[in-house]
């Protein structure tokens, strides 16, 4: 169990002592789910895991006092950041005064000016120096170089964590260049760790940057079937040595293990991982499950898992279709017919013409006036079932701008079929 939960759980339990064990259990499991460091702590044991590899890379460059760089690649929600944090936590305990960690995020600091400023800020914070907001890019760059040198002399390693690494590789890559160059030119000790969900992140680098980057890569993959099962137990089972009443914990865990053994539950997990087997997906699923827990009995049931699955797996387009009014459906069908005819021009006027011809041939009960249809047309635009083909032509009024349909024919068909009290489908 990670340090974070250990430190926070007594506080929670103390405050909630007067609440029912079911609620306490819910809060505990929810805080576990919301803490990726806890979730991924089970992957830290086996020797061939990414955890041990990463730890070896960093600790060897720590002890050998050399520069290093590594990329952590893999799809979103596979625990790249979490594993790195676990490693750093461990290393900070092992070598307390030898590490300072600088964390940057490509979403926030992809601009080189901003990135250097943030580095200076974090360095200042770490070493109790005064940070000036007004410092220029040049000042900050010089500060970083001298800090690297000083830290190198003091045998202290600076670890740069660059989350969303691919975003740093946009544009001129000035920041990456100045960082990697600073590491080369002086007797510094620094480790650069890039984290990216793009597997080709190292191919994005310019030549001058790439030549300064070591090509160590660690690949993170979604958990396998067995790992998923281990994760489930790891997250959901209540600890036996805690403040919960003993009978409650046993009842809870026994019920849960029984569910895990059920083949229906296995089917649920299969459907879940069929669409997306990352831990993030599992995390959302479990959060929803735990939220649905019956607080009276305080036990999870198979129904909870089923309900969570249905809330997680949604078909937004079909939902929106079900929300459409009949006139809006008419317009969609008209659009589809125009597409089927391969008519080039598809704007509101063309739709109205088609609508009139449908009305004439099928003798539908109501024929709505043009401005009512225009209103419905705009609702469809708002619902994003149709959209304008181009973003230009703001001067032109909506009736003339060409539109395209954003749902496929089978989707529309399914939507119409499931629509309650749908009139004759002239489709």
Partner 1 sequence: MGKEESPHVNRRTTRSSSSTTPNSKTVGEVSKIISNTQSLTVNDLVISDESISLEELINSFPHRRVQILELIKLLGPLNSPMIPLFVYGGASTGKTSTVLEIFKHLKRPFIYSSCITCYNPRILFESILNQLLLHRKNERNGYSSAKRCEKPSDFVNLLHDALSTFIDRLEGDLWKSNSKKSPSQVTGKMIYLIIDNLEHVREWDKSLNILPFLFNLYDILKMPEMGLIFISKTSLDTYHSDTGYAESLPVYFPDYTEDDLRKIFMKDQSNPKLYSSFLDVVLRPFYHTTRRVDDVTNAISPLYKKYCEPLDDTGITPDEDTKRKLFKHINPYISQFLKETFQVPSQPTLKASASKDKTRKKGITKPGFWESLDELDFHMSTCAKYLLISAFLASRNPATLDASLFDSTGGSGNRKRKRKSSEKSMEKKESKEQELLMKGPGTFPLERLLAIFQCISSVAEYSPGDEVPQIDGLGANGWDSGLMSDVLLQLSSLCSANFITKGGSCPLEGAIRYRSAVSEDMALKVARSLKFPLPKYLYSR
- CA–CA dist 161, 159 (Å, integer): 6
Q: How far is the CB of 55 from partner 1 (least distance, A)?
A: 21
Instruction: Rule CB under 8 A: choose which of 44, 228, 243, 280 binds partner 1.
Output: 280
Task: Evaluate whether 84 touches 193 at the Cβ level (below 8 Å).
Answer: yes
What are the distances in angstroms from CA 106 to CA 68, 173, 330? 20, 12, 46
Q: Which residues of 267-288 are buried (b: 16+ CB within 10 A; e: fewer)?
A: ebbeebbeebbbbbbbbbbbbb
Q: Quick one: which segment of 7-15, 46-54, 151-159, 225-233 binds partner 1 (CB under 8 A)?
A: 7-15
From the list 127, 45, 37, 128, the residue with the least C-alpha distance to 89 is 37
Instruction: Rule CB under 8 A: choose which of 376, 386, 407, 416 binds partner 1.
Output: 376
Q: How far is the CB of 27 from partner 1 (least distance, A)?
A: 4
Tokens of 216: 């160590």
- CA–CA dist 9, 143 (Å, integer): 41
Tokens of 119: 């580095």
Q: How far is the CB of 366 from partner 1 (least distance, A)?
A: 7
Q: Quick count: other Cβ atoms within 10 Å of Cβ 226?
A: 8
- Of 42-71, which residues contact partner 1 (CB under 8 A)? none
Q: Does 184 bind partner 1 (CB under 8 A)?
A: no
Residue 270 or residue 294: which is nearer to partner 1 going by CB?
A: 294
Instruction: Rule CB under 8 A: choose which of 350, 405, 412, 416 binds partner 1.
Output: 350
Specify the DSSP element, H or E, that contains 340.
helix 326-340
Q: Quick one: which segment of 143-151, 187-195, 241-249, 366-374 binds partner 1 (CB under 8 A)?
A: 366-374
Helices (H), 186-245: 207-210, 225-236
Residue 19 or residue 233: which is nearer to partner 1 going by CB?
A: 19
- Of 298-327, which residues contact partner 1 (CB under 8 A)? 311-312, 314, 316-317, 319-320, 322-327
- CA–CA dist 125, 415 (Å, integer): 57
Residue 70 or residue 110: which is nearer to partner 1 going by CB?
A: 110
Instruction: Rule CB under 8 A: choose which of 149, 306, 359, 375 binds partner 1.
Output: 375
Three-state secondary-structure class, residue 194? strand
Q: Does 16 bind partner 1 (CB under 8 A)?
A: yes
Task: Evaluate whether 358 touches 364 at the Cβ level (below 8 Å).
Answer: yes
What are the distances in angstroms from CA 254 to CA 26, 129, 244, 317, 385? 17, 55, 15, 40, 47
Q: How many residues bind partner 1 (CB under 8 A)?
A: 80
Q: Does 213 bind partner 1 (CB under 8 A)?
A: no
Instruction: Rule CB under 8 A: choose which of 206, 270, 303, 378 binds partner 1.
Output: 378
Q: Quick one: which segment of 135-143, 181-189, 204-212, 372-380 binds partner 1 (CB under 8 A)?
A: 372-380
Instruction: Rule CB under 8 A: choose which of 400, 409, 422, 425 binds partner 1.
Output: 400
**Sequence-ordered list of residues with C-beta below 8 angstroms from that of 210, at least 6 positions apart, any chain:** 202
Q: How far is the CB of 12 from partner 1 (least distance, A)?
A: 6
- CA–CA dist 83, 52 (Å, integer): 10
Q: Quick count: other Cβ atoms within 10 Å of Cβ 206?
A: 13
- CA–CA dist 46, 130 (Å, integer): 43
- CA–CA dist 376, 262 (Å, integer): 48
Instruction: Rule CB under 8 A: choose which of 345, 360, 409, 418 binds partner 1.
Output: 345
Instruction: Rule CB under 8 A: choose which of 76, 215, 246, 264 binds partner 1.
Output: 76
Residue 240 or residue 366: which is nearer to partner 1 going by CB?
A: 366
Q: Quick count: other Cβ atoms within 10 Å of Cβ 255?
A: 16
Residue 105 or residue 157: which is nearer to partner 1 going by CB?
A: 105
- CA–CA dist 138, 144 (Å, integer): 10
Instruction: Rule CB under 8 A: choose which of 91, 166, 403, 412 binds partner 1.
Output: 166
Tokens of 57: 């890379």
Q: Does 242 bind partner 1 (CB under 8 A)?
A: no
Q: How far is the CB of 373 from partner 1 (least distance, A)?
A: 9
Q: How far is the CB of 130 from partner 1 (least distance, A)?
A: 16
Task: Evaluate whether 265 touches 305 at the Cβ level (below 8 Å).
Answer: yes
Residue 227 or residue 423: which is nearer to partner 1 going by CB?
A: 423
The contact pattern for partner 1, residues 85-124, with x = CB under 8 A and - = no contact, is: --------------------x-xxxxx--x--xx--x---
Q: How far is the CB of 395 from partner 1 (least distance, A)?
A: 3
Q: Does 12 bind partner 1 (CB under 8 A)?
A: yes
């Amino acid at each position: 169990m990670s340090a974070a939960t250990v430190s926070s759980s007594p506080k929670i339990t103390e405050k909630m002592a007067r609440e029912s064990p079911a609620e306490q259990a819910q809060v505990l499991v929810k805080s576990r789910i919301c803490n990726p460091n806890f979730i991924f702590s089970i992957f830290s044991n086996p020797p061939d895991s990414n955890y041990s590899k990463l730890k070896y890379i960093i600790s060897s460059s720590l002890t050998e006092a050399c520069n290093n760089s590594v990329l952590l690649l893999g799809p979103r929600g596979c625990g790249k950041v979490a594993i790195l944090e676990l490693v750093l936590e461990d290393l900070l305990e092992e070598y307390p005064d030898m590490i300072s960690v600088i964390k940057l995020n490509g979403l926030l600091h992809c601009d080189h000016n901003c990135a250097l400023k943030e580095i200076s800020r974090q360095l200042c914070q770490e070493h109790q120096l005064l940070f000036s907001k007004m410092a220029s890019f040049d000042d900050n760059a010089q500060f970083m170089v001298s800090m690297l040198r000083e830290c190198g002399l003091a045998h202290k390693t600076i670890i740069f964590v660059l989350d969303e690494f691919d975003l740093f590789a946009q544009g001129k890559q000035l920041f990456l260049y100045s960082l990697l160059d600073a590491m080369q030119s002086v007797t510094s000790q620094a480790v650069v760790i890039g984290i990216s969900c793009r597997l080709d992140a190292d191919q994005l680098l310019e030549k001058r940057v790439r030549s300064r980057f070591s090509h160590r890569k660690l690949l993170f993959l979604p958990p396998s079937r067995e790992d998923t099962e281990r994760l489930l137990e790891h997250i959901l089972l209540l600890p036996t040595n805690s403040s919960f009443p003993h009978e409650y914990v046993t009842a809870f865990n026994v019920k849960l293990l029984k569910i895990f053994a059920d083949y229906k539950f296995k089917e649920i997990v299969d459907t879940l991982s069929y669409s997306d087997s990352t831990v993030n997906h599992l995390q959302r699923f479990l959060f929803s499950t735990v939220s649905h827990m019956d607080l009276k009995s305080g036990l999870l049931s198979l129904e909870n898992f089923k309900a969570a699955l249905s809330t997680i797996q949604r078909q937004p387009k079909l939902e929106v279709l079900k929300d459409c009014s009949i006139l809006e459906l008419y317009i969609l069908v008209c659009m589809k017919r125009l597409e089927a005819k391969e008519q080039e021009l598809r704007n509101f006027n063309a739709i109205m013409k088609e609508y009139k011809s449908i009305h004439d041939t099928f003798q539908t009960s109501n024929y709505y006036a043009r401005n009512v249809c225009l209103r419905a047309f705009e609702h469809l635009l708002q619902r994003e079932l149709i959209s304008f083909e181009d973003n230009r032509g703001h001067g032109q009024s909506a009736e003339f701008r060409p539109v395209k349909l954003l749902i496929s024919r089978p989707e529309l068909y399914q939507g119409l079929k499931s629509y309650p009290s749908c009139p004759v489908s002239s489709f």
